[in-house]
Structure 1
């Protein structure tokens, strides 16, 4: 008897495409701003980017609905498709503008001013639609203060029950207002079904607008299962005003701080440290209180950032010490083991390994070599009123206090610049540069001058 051939493996399930439609046409009137609402930043990044970046981890296609004249938003959304809602007639009308790009799979409608939904929550929304058999899945929350949120009414009063209806706060009874399960407005359904529901939405309401929330009642009326997917309040926080923007900023900062500490960074007083969305802090970095990171900062292992420092657009190499009260501006490159002290500002300049600039100094458009010591009050005069010029300082130099280096100028390796000098010409390696007037002492002149001034003061009464 021969062995039978192994059974053939079942064919892999066909991939079902998914499309995210992000509504971003709102003007944000309550923001009192000339900017489109979704361009306002959180941790230095426009809020729309958060939603796009997270959605890109989950969905095959992203379509952003924008308003007319929103070229900035279209550029921010690139390379994803954009469609224009020429007339702002409500959220269902906005979603309908993208209907031709829904494709054949599942479609989720998200809001650009609700930017903090994580990729994990988006995946759970899709899973509810695909695995739990929901004809329509929606995102819901239980906020600490439900306020004027629309209420989600389920058949058994639980989060896992079938959704029967969404009741807007203004239309809710006292019993319905007591419900704490609230609607976030995010919906997911099959593309063809979703298109049909959107086309059927009517605008017979006080504002004459087409509301996306009406799709829920349509799904229930069609006998479809409607289920809620829970997400934390911090993720589902909408942003319609400057106050709400500040609340969202606080939420983002909490996430960033926790992520940094989980990665091995010490934040001595976390609530006083402000990070940008792209801040890179390697393990064993120590950040003291009241430090602000702008966009584009990378800090390597073992660095200490002391209190009240501000960093943006810079790289700090291992074991350097920054601050307190230091400012690193775009283009600053701080070498391994270098020190940047109090009230030192560095812009478009590199400070070599082990170099020090510890007090009251401005270094702009400059390159400072390894092991060089820059004394208090040193200034690289890099701007002539029209053009910027560079200062180059070699390795192992000593720049005395209150030196003024007028660029373009080069200081050779090992050179010494005398305190109080104004340097306008290159200084060779191992030379001493002195650029100050010769001192002259006038014997007895101080006493004579004081007597003359005292006499004049008495005469003036």
Structure 2
């Protein structure tokens, strides 16, 4: 159902709202209709840059002085089956905050909200309804699943997987290659039951080292630190220093 437009065609159709000093490559592609045929306008604010071969779907707003590099996909509707639900390809409002930077190859699904100054690294995927607070940095080659909530000034290092509905509070640091789990029963496509997903939670200022695995339902408390390579099978109290396989508390974080 989707039809691709050039910037000139989108403008002629009245579906592009842009400030005069936005820079949009003539080789950028715009898809205002979702898979159900619903048309949504696209808005690009002053000073924003849209590079060649970026694909921007209907309902997307790109904030002032934001940069969308080559081959980025913005506002893509979800289509098909995933974990107990079939997605019909419906579009949704997608917002890229002022001064945000999306590096080459980023894929942003419909309904994502990025705050001001967010940086998203090369080839990272942000699934539907993810929200990321201002000044957070999301490294390259991450997968951030549906409805994840990430706060302000968060650092997620490269190569990690953030499972659906995980909550990452302000100023959390996650090292590279962190794996999170939200399914304790390994149910994926059982016709007799839907999976019960219980995501982990990282409270404000928590730090989790490279290569950690975080099981479903775990809370890593505020300002806690977990050493690299740990398997986190139980809650980590606020301010605790923990490490190991499984991770155990070995003291308190000192400043």
1:310-389 residue pairs with structure 2 within 5 A? 310-312=107-109, 313-347=111-145, 348-364=147-163, 365-384=165-184, 385=186, 386-389=195-198
The 1-side partners of 2:108 and 2:219 are apart by 27
Q: State which of 278, 299, 319 in structure 1 corresponds to 2:59.
A: 278
- SS of equivalent residue, structure 2 residue 56: coil
Q: For the Cα contact (< 8 Å) 1:325–1:341, is it kept in 2? A: no
Inter-CA distance 119–419: structure 2 relative to 1 (3 Å threshold): closer
Alignment length (residue pairs): 194
Structure 1, unaligned runs of 5 or more: 1-39, 44-115, 121-248, 254-258, 439-461
| Runs of 4+ residues deviating >3 angstroms | 116-120, 249-253, 259-264
2:220–2:235 CA contact under 8 A, matched in 1: yes
Could you say what secondary structure the match of 2:57 adopts? coil
Partner of 2:243: 434
Q: Report the counterpart of residue 229 of structure 2 in structure 1.
A: 420
Per the alignment, residue 204 of structure 1 pairs with none
Give the number of the structure whose alpha-carbon radius of gyration is greater. 1
The equivalent residue for 2:206 is 397
- Displacement, 1:275? 0.4
- Pairing 1:265–2:48 present: yes
Report if aligned partners of 2:232, 2:246 keep a CA contact under 8 Å in 1.
Answer: no
Q: Report if the CA contact (8 A) 2:214-2:231 is conserved.
A: yes
Residue of structure 2 in register with 1:41 after alignment: 2
Shift of 1:42: 2.9
RMSD: 2.8
CA gap of 1:418–1:277, structure 2 versus 1, over 3 A, is same
The aligned counterpart of 2:219 is: 410
- Offset at 1:118? 3.8
Judged with a 3 Å threshold, the aligned counterparts in structure 2 of structure 1 residues 300 and 250 are, in CA distance, closer, same or farther, namely closer
- Return the alpha-carbon distance in structure 1 between the equivalents of residues 14 and 44 of structure 2: 21
Distance of 1:283 and 1:400 partners within structure 2:
34
**What residue ranges of structure 2 are gaps of 5+ in the alignment?**
5-10, 16-27, 33-41, 78-91, 187-194, 248-255
What displacement does 1:280 show?
1.1
Give 1:300 deviation, angstroms.
1.0
* More strand as a share of residues: 2
Q: Distance in 2 between matches of 1:262 and 1:412?
A: 39
Q: 1:162 corresponds to which residue?
A: none
Describe how 1:18-417 pairs up with structure 2 within 5 A. Answer: 40-42=1-3, 118=13, 263-267=46-50, 269-270=51-52, 272-293=53-74, 294-295=76-77, 296=92, 297-312=94-109, 313-347=111-145, 348-364=147-163, 365-384=165-184, 385=186, 386-417=195-226
Is the 1:332–1:346 contact (alpha carbons within 8 Å) kept by the matching residues of 2? yes
**Per-residue Cα deviation, 1:402-424 (whole angstroms, up to 9, x for no partner):** 11000111111000111111111
Contact 1:290 1:309 in 2 (8 A): yes
